[in-house]
Structures are given as structure tokens and as C-alpha cells.
Structure 1
């Protein structure tokens, strides 16, 4: 599925409107990463990420070959970013310096509103009525996978957490059901969501010098594996003002 419409050097109002409408916006032709920063700062407040920096290089780094991790070349399945932060980042953005030239490395998106429409009632109850602890600063956040926050719905999801008990697991980890946050039922839910994600996702190969911004509290995202180790994106977390 191709993205039919992109924005060329827009103002923040255009980006907000596009994200509100579609859940994401793809901004082309920025003229360098430095020009992405003012746009993101107008959108909200840049947040420190896992290692404390405001920027995180999403590129191949040796040593993560056996993990489902941003700096590996491996597939990363459906999740929202930083579900254990309170609140989780409202927006997530990726600026592309060099896109993979190998046919992989897609950033896939799937609207959580559509997900809710496709799940069975008992699956929705697992999302809404069974709090779990999402690891994060200060012990993390204990809440349900889908909840109201300030009058709007917030989706927190991690295929890896529900199926392995961690965010960045070893690829060969197969834990017992009692080690999982929602047990076998949660693992089954993760598999169902992953299957729906694969069927309904919007795959995006972010062009060089383009910025992809999406609503992290609404959209699930994933990353397909790739072979081109020169692939280089930079990730930002943004809090709503």
C-alpha cells in the first residue's frame, strides 16, 4: 500500500492536521536534519529517550545480531514506543539520512482505532480490563493496554513484552506462560494483533531527507528486517504541549 499524499516543507499546523486525520505525516525535502528540529519543537517538547539523549540513531550497530532491537537489522514486531513512560510520548518521529537500498527496512504503521474494530469482545476486554506493569522509569507504569488519558484513548502495546516479558528480547527466547504479563492469553492476543497488523499495515520506506511523524498513542508501528547496513535514521520522542 503506497502513501498517496506527502507534505513538502509544511508548517506545524499542516503536520498536526495530517496526523489527526491519518495518524501520521510524511514530510519531504527538508534540506537536512537541522531543519527537522524546529518543526518538531513547534509540534511539542522533545523528550529524553532510553539512554538520556534527545536523539537516537536507528542504524546497524554490531553486537545486536541476536536481538529484536532498533540497532539490529532484525524485524521488530508491532508496538508503541516507551509504553512504560508516564505519559508515553505523544508523537514519534524518524528523520532519514540514508534509507536501505536492499528492499527491506520499512517502517510499518497500523491505526489502533482500526485494530479495536477488528478484535473480538473478549480480546478488547484483555486490552481494557487487565492492567499490567510496563517497565520504565521509576518502576514503570501499571495500566491497561488501552485506556483513557485526559479524555482521549491511549494505546500501549508491545508484542515483545506480551510474548517474551521484555522489550528487546533475544530472538530465541521462549519463556513459560507464567512469566508473561498476561499469561498465555496475552501471548495469544499479541499473535492476533500481529496478524492483523501484517494484513492492514501501511508500509513506508522513508525517503532520504524526509521526516515521518506519527501519533504514538494511537498508532502501532513495526520495522521489517534489512541487509543494507548503511541505513541510518534518527528517532525523536515528542510530548504534546
Structure 2
């Protein structure tokens, strides 16, 4: 590895639809060691990194990391700047983390996320920041796999945590083990491109207007409800299109939300959602790519929808971290339980 110097983000090529391919330099060994020491002092050294939970002192930690690991801090700034300007998706084909054990990779990714913003708890019970995306056979068999991160089926285009009042601004997806079957291809749709396409026709403009003005119920998956119970019914009301986030969407949580709040399930809403879905299904206007092991995908979760193809390899394993930027969002929609 490099002995010194900043870990830079280098643009290789644009892939279309405001997504780009980039390379990074390996994080110097000395910086890695300092990062791990800082995290161990704050969070402990549990082998599964379960102790990496939000503690309210992320700003202080960011300052410590910037001083101890300037390369990591520079990389985080470069990623964030790209996601706020030219790109909604940043693809790094090789993150140079593959030589570390999985726990160390979790910790270094967590440190990168802290340098970008404030990593958030995935669920309300365990509050883990680094979430494992892998098949959970016991949940699949019982029918309890309520999120895309727990099964191997296709994942339609969606915004992460669209079912919460304030979805995180950024998201990191690190591919610890790609699917050996070649499945699980990642796909992206940029919200600006979606809105521009809809605005190009009368029916598209009608749908865009309705979905920008009408708050709809998104049902919160059981895993992320207050109790974690499969019987819990909690929804968040929000518009599909807005300013911040620019788009908020997921087919199944909308469908289940409308089933739970049938008074909002009108013919006009169904028609508008069908028009949007037809645009999202257009293969000519989306990026699709296979992410190899040790690759990293950073996204602006407010401006890009992402999805995944089905896969057969049960060993496929990705790590996800969601990151809040602390900026105000549209209208403070509320979540409601029944």
C-alpha cells in the first residue's frame, strides 16, 4: 500500500444517467491503523462490529479521523462533492479493502461514512450502522423476509428508507462477495432523467404533477417498525416527487401502504403510479452493471433510484451504510401507526 499521501478519487468515465466510474488509491497502512485505533477506543473491538451504533458524537469523531487519516477524509469529501454536483451514482470497481478481514472492512467503511456525514441506525431495535445484505434462509422459509436485504429475489427500483419521514441523503454499498452465479446486477435510475422523461408527454406531466402534490402512504417493513412485529402496521405519508428528496419511491411499500389506507387508493393515483412505473421499466434509460467483489457504490439516495437483479448464490454478501447530511428535508412528513 501507499506509505503516504491522500487517497484520491479519480474519474475514469461517465456511464450515463449521471453515474460515473472512478478509481481510488489504497488507504495507507498507517492511516488504516490509526482509524482502527480511534474506533476501538470509542466503540470497542467486538468481532462483528455490532458496537458501531450512532452515539451522537459523530462530528467529534469526524474531526479525529480527518486529523489521523487525511487520505480517507479527502476521499469522503470527493465522493460527497460528486454526489452533490455531477453524479448521483459513484462506482468504484476496486476499493482495495479485500485484503482485510470482514470486520476490519466494516470498520473502515464506517469511518469513511463518518467522514461523509452521520451514519444512521438501520433499525430501531439493534441500531446497527453496518447492515449485512445477504440471504437469510430462515426468514425466507417462514415468509418473514420483509426487505430486499433479506432475500435473493429481484429488487425493484427504490429509494432507501423511503418509508421513514426523512430518508438519508447518501448510501454506501460495498460488495464483500459478489454472486458467483453472475446474478444480482445493480441498476440505477437518476431522478432528474426520470422527471425530464415524464415532462416530455402530456400524460407524463399529469402524473408528475399528481405525484408531486399528493401525499401517499408508504408502509414501513416489519423489520424496521418500532416493535419489529410482523403484525405492526406503520406508514409514512409523503409525495413521490419533491425537492429534497427529489424522489421517494418503492413499489411494494406503496402498494402495502395503500392497502392499509385504502381511502388514498384512488383510480388517479393508480394511473399516475402506472405511468411512472412504465417509465422506470424503460431499459434504454437506466444503468445496469455487475459489481465485483471489493467494489463500492456510493449513491445520492435523494436523487437516484437503485435496484438489483435476482441471484442464486447464497454466499452473495454486501455491506450497506446509510448516511444523513443533517440538512432540512421537504415538509417533515410523519409516520403513523395503526
1:10-46 deviations in Å (ceiling 9; x for gaps): 7122212332312011232332423322221111101
Q: Which stretch of the first structure deviates more once superposed, 46-55 or 226-235? A: 46-55
1:156-207 deviations in Å (ceiling 9; x for gaps): 1111133x315xxxxxxxx979848543443444443333233222113222
Tell me which of the two structures has the higher relative contact order, counting C-alpha pairs closer than 8 angstroms and 6 or more residues apart.
1
Q: Which stretch of the first structure deviates more once superposed, 54-63 or 39-48? A: 54-63
2:80 corresponding residue in structure 1: 16
1:112 corresponding residue in structure 2: 191
Equivalences for residues 1-241 of structure 1 within 5 A: 5-9=21-25, 11-20=75-84, 21-27=86-92, 28-31=94-97, 32=100, 33=105, 34-50=107-123, 52-62=127-137, 63-64=139-140, 69-119=148-198, 120-136=204-220, 140-149=235-244, 153-162=245-254, 164-166=255-257, 179=262, 181-198=264-281, 199=283, 200-241=285-326
Higher helix share: 2
- Aligned pair count reads 229
Aligned CA distance change for structure 1 residues 75 and 234 (closer, same or farther; 3 Å):
same
Provide the C-alpha distance between the structure 2 equivalents of 1:141 and 1:14, rounded to a whole number of angstroms: 33
CA contact (8 A) 1:30 1:36 kept: no
Q: Which stretch of the first structure deviates more once superposed, 192-201 or 19-28? A: 192-201
Task: Tell me by how many angstroms 1:125 deviates.
Answer: 1.4
Task: Tell me by how many angstroms 1:145 deviates.
Answer: 1.2
Provide the C-alpha distance between the structure 2 equivalents of 1:127 and 1:100, rounded to a whole number of angstroms: 36
CA contact (8 A) 1:95 1:212 kept: yes
Provide the C-alpha distance between the structure 1 equivalents of 2:20 and 2:116, rounded to a whole number of angstroms: 23
Provide the C-alpha distance between the structure 1 equivalents of 2:322 and 2:80, rounded to a whole number of angstroms: 15
Gaps spanning 5+ residues in structure 2: where? 1-14, 26-73, 199-203, 227-233, 327-338
TM-score (norm 1): 0.82
Gaps spanning 5+ residues in structure 1: where? 167-174
Aligned CA distance change for structure 1 residues 191 and 104 (closer, same or farther; 3 Å):
farther
The RMSD of aligned alpha carbons is 2.8
Higher strand share: 1
Q: Which of the pair has more CA radius of gyration?
A: 2
